[in-house]
Amino acid sequence: MSTPKTFYVTTPIYYVNDEPHIGHVYTTTVADVMARFHRLAGRDVFFLTGTDEHAAKVVDSAAAHNVTPIQWADRNAKSFQETFAKLAISNTDFIRTTQDRHKTRVQAYVKALMNSGDVYLGDYAGWYDAGQEEYVTDANAEKQGFKSAINQKPLVRKTEKNYFFRLSAYREPLLALLERGEEFDGCRFNVLPEARKNEIVNRIKEMNDVPISRTGQGDWGISIPGDDQHKIYVWIDALFNYISTVDTDERRKYWPADVHLLAKDILWFHAAIWPAMLLALKKQPGYEWVLLPKSVYSHSFWIHEGVKMSKSLGNFIDLKEIDQYIATFSLDALRFFLAAEGPLGTNDSDFAKSKFIETYNTALANTLGNSLSRTSNMTTKYFGGVLPAPVADAGDATLTPEVVAGLAAASAKAYEELDLSGAIASALGIVRKVDEFIEKTKPFTLAKDPANLPRVATILYNCAEALRIASVLLWPVIPGKIQELWARFGQDYTAQLAAAPATGGVDHLAQWLTWGGLKPGTAIVIGEPLFPRYVPPKV
């Protein structure tokens, strides 16, 4: 067997100053759906998520809770891990930037950058808000009348020594890669969706060198090699997680990543600073393997009932609310809503309860759940629960193997392109065809005359087989419910997936999307509704 293609997908590593909220859960769920799809297709998948721990705000938040930074980080990192486990996230590894495996490698990378000549010690000058302990941009300082926006005290012109990365030296390479779509130094690199690329290209044209170290953060952080006074700027430390985790003999095959998933808030770091640092590192001995990631995909934001989520408004959909959705609608219903209605494109999406209920009832209860019930009920009623052979002509071409194959191919293609709502729409399109087919052929009327039973047999066989194929395509999104469906259809797919090598090689997708997988004679079990219709409680 040839070596399976690898697929490496990452999420941002999340700050541990607080617990996870729906935004973190969203990106990680999208990555999970991608990872599952590619595993289904037999690829050797590496799916990385984790936590970014050396931020100054972790120190502040720990102090506010009277614990040490590492105690605070431990607590929240655990919360992220538990939350992801609860959400059926199938990550391969979970990186914490406070782990030695990360810290030692980051120091080596920064050392190599220092050797490259692209790092220099310089002066950083800017307007400093001492109360807030942060620099204010020149434009904002002017807007604020050179006073603190918080306590109105005058801003101070401050100069500090910092290590800088020569980002400006990478303007041309980045423009070649992004603006002109060319190859550079054996690498290609893309920013998706396309509409986001322009903003980045314009900013690259004006970019300056960036500081990569910080002082005044105490002991928290990774030291600049040979200079304990300076800690590596948390963003530089964090970006390196994507290679530090796979920088071992067994895992280097996964690099370059296929896609870094993240939101628009942190696109600049991933689309400009990260590739520039990699190009610098790549020139150093031993780092020739450090190519550029193939793509960075930046999605938009979830807002909540029409309002941007923020700390000051305290309106994040938090763990408690996430748990309530799971308890009321099921985990898969939450995953489905996130994947189908999420802000993967350039528009924000509204997480509104009414929209959730509408999506749930329309797509899951009335479409998927309903056609499964109809098909299994009729199979039980007319054929004693045993799937009949398709012996006669169905007498209608709404649901043929070709129709199903067309929609299945469209769904798989959309998955490959990270178009989750498209992938789901085509998979559900198959289910809708099942409904339409039942409406048109009326097997419940036909069955009244025994002479029609061969035709009813074909109709029900086609319905069940189409549902099986749709189920394979929906598994990455709603794995729990689909596993129930497979059990009712007598398929051992769950076991086959569990037994498949983690390094890929078994293309279940191609096998299972082929028409004819359900064998006549298979027992079809009627179960509880997969997604019972939700009726809001009366107030």
Given the rule CB under 6 A, which residues bind ligand MSP? 12-15, 23-24, 26-27, 52, 238-239, 262-263, 265-266, 301-302, 309
The Cα–Cα gap between 449 and 484 comes to 33
> Could you tell me the two tokens for 361?
């009832």
- Using a 10 angstrom Cβ sphere, with 0-12 exposed, 13-18 middle and 19 or more buried, the burial of residue 117 is exposed
Please report where in the chains the tokens 């009244």 appear, as a residue.
448
Pick the closest to residue 91 from 43, 32, 38 (CA basis): 32
Structure tokens at 357: 């209920």
Closest CB to ligand MSP among residues 27, 245: 27
Q: How many residues does the chain have?
A: 539
CA distance 312 to 303: 14
- Closest CB to ligand MSP among residues 420, 466: 420
Helices of type H across 307-346: 319-329, 331-341
Nearer of residues 14 and 382 to ligand MSP, judged by Cβ:
14
Nearer to ligand MSP, 23 or 173 (CB): 23
Closer to ligand MSP by Cβ: residue 77 or 412: 77
Q: Nearest distance from residue 466's CB to ligand MSP, in Å?
A: 34
Nearest to 22 by CA among 315, 317, 308: 317
In the bound complex, what is the minimum distance in angstroms from residue 32's beta carbon to ligand MSP? 13
Least Cβ distance, residue 306 to ligand MSP (angstroms): 13
- Please list the residues that pair with 163 across neighbouring strands: 121
Structure tokens at 290: 């450090």
CA angle 37, 82, 481 (to 5 degrees): 45
CB of 350 to ligand MSP, least distance (A): 11
Smallest separation (angstroms) from ligand MSP to the CB of 349? 8
Q: Are 13 and 97 in contact (CB under 8 A)?
A: yes
- Select 49 or 371, whichever has its Cβ closest to ligand MSP: 49
Closest separation in Å from C-beta 374 to ligand MSP: 37
Q: Nearest-CB residue to ligand MSP?
A: 23
Cα separations in angstroms, 156 against 116, 137, 163, 211:
34, 12, 21, 19
Please, which residue, 23 or 504, has the CB nearer to ligand MSP? 23
Supply the minimum distance, in Å, between the C-beta of residue 482 and ligand MSP: 25
Phi, psi angles (nearest 5°) of residue 264: -60, -25
Residues forming a β-bridge with 9: 47, 259
In angstroms, give the least distance from the CB of 266 to ligand MSP.
5
Q: Which is nearer to ligand MSP, 25 or 204 (CB)?
A: 25
User: Is the distance from CB of 534 to CB of 360 less than 8 angstroms?
Assistant: yes
CB of 446 to ligand MSP, least distance (A): 49
> How many Cβ atoms from other residues are within 10 Å of residue 358's Cβ?
14
CA distance 456 to 378: 9
Q: Which residues contact 192 (CB under 8 A, 6 or more apart)?
A: 295, 296, 297, 298, 418
Nearer to ligand MSP, 23 or 221 (CB): 23
| Residue whose CB is less far from ligand MSP, 348 or 507 | 348
Beta bridge partners of 134: 129
**For ligand MSP, the closer CB: 244 or 458:** 244
Residue 497 identity (one-letter amino acid): L
Q: Please tell me the distance from the alpha carbon of residue 225 to that of residue 278, in angstroms, as a whole number.
A: 18
Q: How far is the CB of 408 from ligand MSP (least distance, A)?
A: 29
Q: What's the min distance (Å) between Cβ of 298 and ligand MSP?
A: 8
Chain centroid to CA 439: how far? 37
Residue 537 CB neighbours (<10 A): 5
